[in-house]
């Protein structure tokens, strides 16, 4: 990435309080153990013959998450806050439930406030009173989609007002569930808290259905999104295969990263073209997408296309507008592609039957599949353990299948993306049988891909 990595985790102070959770200190006694602060997970686990051993310092080591024997806060005096920010994502309620139950039942925390509608719930003039949460109130919320607390975009720049609210409510640990923009706001909040000398741990649970946060194996809700996308692809394949020159087109989430599209393509076994933001394509010409689609129809009589919402943006007119979170508003590649396909085959006088599905909001509001539900439970629990130990300015993440503490600054430096030279995209090409690149000007395509890689390495604030 070019930046020096530092996975050091900040703390509010020395931990002197005995944890109320009774665990073992002995390895090998068949009892669940505490986690020590000197237990780490390597960031870089890859080995090549021409490379020296990776350093065993905080440029390469991530602190393991989990309950500590000594904690910073006395649970009897803890007042916790929770909020959910940004767009919907499967698993939000599962995470809320896990945090509340761990605070309530494991540590005995009595005061837990749920701030409504994201950061807007901290602003008195908006009139959204916090909800007093306990394990009984939230016990069933994992069975429904959405977020029990409500969500919104924006507001994270009003840091002073948010911290004013935390002080008024005597909150000493805040759990913020949201994506990279939200977590940058979390970091600013934690810095303001520190500046005021106010002891409040700020812990993030990273949420991005696009799975584009750095270092983390996967974000919660991703596997549910892939499952629901697979179901949409199965339906569109049935439509396409039942028609004369049937074409099924599915647009999936993925603003700047094609992880959902690639995973759903691999899971479905029925996709013939997968179009993602990281790999450019052209519509016209002998090697362009439309000609490739025509050849597919001539050979098999039907085709299924999966496209990420951020794919092919260079083909459309950009408005340069942004939403409340500061994200660039994308032109609709799904509608555009549908129109271009219909126009192409009409001009060629070739009959087609095209069906189009955009299941985005249905997927975002979905109840989690089992694997995501398990993941959310463990994320929420580990977030509470971190906060109780006084750790701050961090998010909980899964790295190499282990739960770790990650500094917010590290996770939000860049966005993750599908590597066009990596095994995931290579396996996607194998699954679809599509050409490696659907372009006529190979040098121009290489330049676009190089620019995409460079843009992915920019800080999000530089990407607007």
pLDDT for the residue numbered 443: 80
Other CB atoms within 10 A of residue 259 CB: 27
- Out of 197-201, 209-213, 351-355, least confident range: 209-213
- Given the DSSP bridges, would you call strands 173-178 and 79-84 parallel, antiparallel or unpaired? parallel
Q: Which two tokens stand for residue 62?
A: 């991530």
- Strands of 311-393, DSSP E: 353-357, 391-392
Task: Please give the average per-residue pLDDT across 329-355, as a whole number.
Answer: 95
**Could you identify the residue written with the tokens 């002197």?**
16
pLDDT for the residue numbered 158: 94
Establish whether 139 is a catalytic residue. no
Grade residue 464 by pLDDT with cuts at 50, 70 and 90.
very low
pLDDT for the residue numbered 450: 75
pLDDT for the residue numbered 462: 46
Write the CA distances from 266 to 60, 228, 281, 428, 431, integer angstroms.
32, 13, 20, 6, 6
CB distance 353 to 297 below 8 Å = no
List residues bridging with 123 in a β-sheet.
Answer: none
pLDDT for the residue numbered 56: 85
pLDDT tens by residue, 80-125: 999 999 999 999 999 999 999 999 999 999 999 999 999 999 999 9
Instruction: Give yes or no for residue 345 having a pLDDT over 90.
Output: yes
Give SS3 for 315: helix
Strand order of the sheet with strand 111-114?
40-42, 61-64, 402-407, 394-399, 201-206, 173-178, 79-84, 111-114, 131-132
**Cβ contacts of residue 278 below 8 Å, gap of 6+?**
257, 258, 417, 418, 419, 420, 425, 449, 452, 456
Instruction: Give yes or no for residue 2 having a pLDDT over 60.
Output: no
CB distance 297 to 449 below 8 Å = no
List residues bridging with 157 in a β-sheet.
Answer: none
Strand order of the sheet with strand 353-357?
273-275, 302-308, 246-252, 353-357
- Among residues 86, 169, 100, the alpha carbon closest in space to that of 136 is found at 100
pLDDT for the residue numbered 460: 47
Grade residue 44 by pLDDT with cuts at 50, 70 and 90.
confident
Q: Euclidean distance between the first and final Cα of the chain, in Å?
A: 19
Q: Which two tokens stand for residue 217?
A: 């194996």
Please give the share of the chain, as a percent, with pLDDT higher than 70: 93
Task: Please give the average per-residue pLDDT across 367-374, as a whole number.
Answer: 96
Task: Please give the average per-residue pLDDT across 1-25, as a whole number.
Answer: 90
Q: Which two tokens stand for residue 57?
A: 């310092």
Cα 217 from Cα 212, distance rounded (Å): 10
pLDDT tens by residue, 45-76: 877 766 666 778 899 999 999 999 999 999 99
Instruction: Give yes or no for residue 441 having a pLDDT over 90.
Output: no
pLDDT for the residue numbered 9: 97
pLDDT tens by residue, 247-281: 999 999 998 899 999 999 999 999 999 999 999 99
pLDDT tens by residue, 317-338: 766 666 655 566 788 999 999 9
pLDDT for the residue numbered 211: 87
**Could you identify the residue written with the tokens 């049988």?**
433
Cα 260 from Cα 327, distance rounded (Å): 19
Please give the share of the chain, as a percent, with pLDDT higher than 90: 82
Instruction: Give yes or no for residue 216 having a pLDDT over 60.
Output: yes
Grade residue 415 by pLDDT with cuts at 50, 70 and 90.
confident
- Among residues 211, 183, 182, the alpha carbon closest in space to that of 91 is found at 211
CB distance 236 to 357 below 8 Å = yes
**Average pLDDT of the residues of the chain:** 92
Instruction: Give yes or no for residue 26 having a pLDDT over 70.
Output: yes
CB distance 256 to 277 below 8 Å = yes
Catalytic residue chosen out of the listed positions 94, 180, 210, 372: 210
Distance of CA 211 to the CA centre of its chain: 4
Grade residue 180 by pLDDT with cuts at 50, 70 and 90.
confident
pLDDT for the residue numbered 342: 97
């Amino acid at each position: 990435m070019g930046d020096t990595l530092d996975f050091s985790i900040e703390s509010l102070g020395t931990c002197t309080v005995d944890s109320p959770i009774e665990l073992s200190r002995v390895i090998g006694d068949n009892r669940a153990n505490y986690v020590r602060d000197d237990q780490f997970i390597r960031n870089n686990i890859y080995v090549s013959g021409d490379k020296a051993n990776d350093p065993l310092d905080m440029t390469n080591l991530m602190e393991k998450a989990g309950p500590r024997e000594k904690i910073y806060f006395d649970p009897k005096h803890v007042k916790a806050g929770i909020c959910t920010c940004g767009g919907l994502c499967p698993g939000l309620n599962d995470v809320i439930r896990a945090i509340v139950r761990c605070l309530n039942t494991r540590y005995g925390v009595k005061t837990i406030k749920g701030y409504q509608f994201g950061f807007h719930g901290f602003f008195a003039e908006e009139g959204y009173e916090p909800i007093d949460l306990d394990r009984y109130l939230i016990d069933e919320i994992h069975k429904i989609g959405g977020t029990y607390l409500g969500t919104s975009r924006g507001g994270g720049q009003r840091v002073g007002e948010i911290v004013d609210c935390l002080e008024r409510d005597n909150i000493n640990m805040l759990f913020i569930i949201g994506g990279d923009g939200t977590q940058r706001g979390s970091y600013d909040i934690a810095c303001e808290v520190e500046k005021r000398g106010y002891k409040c741990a700020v812990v993030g649970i990273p949420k991005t259905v696009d799975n584009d946060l750095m270092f983390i194996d996967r974000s919660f809700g991703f596997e549910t999104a892939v499952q629901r996308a697979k179901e949409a692809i199965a339906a569109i394949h049935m439509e396409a295969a039942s028609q004369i020159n049937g074409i099924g087109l599915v647009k999936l989430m993925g603003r700047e990263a094609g992880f959902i599209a690639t995973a759903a393509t691999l899971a479905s076994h029925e996709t013939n073209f997968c179009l993602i933001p990281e790999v450019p394509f052209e519509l016209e010409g002998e090697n362009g997408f439309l000609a490739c689609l025509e050849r597919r129809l001539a050979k098999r009589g039907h085709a299924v296309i999966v496209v990420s919402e951020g794919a092919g943006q260079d083909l459309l007119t950009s408005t340069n507008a942004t939403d409340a979170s500061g994200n660039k508003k994308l032109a609709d590649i799904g509608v555009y592609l549908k129109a271009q396909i219909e126009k192409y085959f009409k001009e060629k006088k070739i009959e087609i039957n095209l069906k189009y599905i955009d299941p985005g909001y249905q997927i975002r509001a979905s109840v989690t599949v089992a694997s995501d539900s398990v993941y959310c439970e463990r994320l929420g629990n580990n977030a509470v353990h971190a906060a109780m130990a006084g750790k701050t300015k961090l998010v909980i993440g899964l790295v190499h299948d282990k739960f770790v503490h990650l500094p917010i600054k590290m996770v939000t430096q860049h966005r993750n993306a599908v590597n066009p030279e990596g095994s995931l995209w290579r396996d996607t090409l194998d699954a679809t049988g599509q050409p490696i690149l659907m372009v006529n000007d190979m040098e121009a395509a290489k330049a676009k891909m190089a620019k995409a890689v460079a843009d992915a390495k920019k800080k999000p604030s530089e990407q607007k």
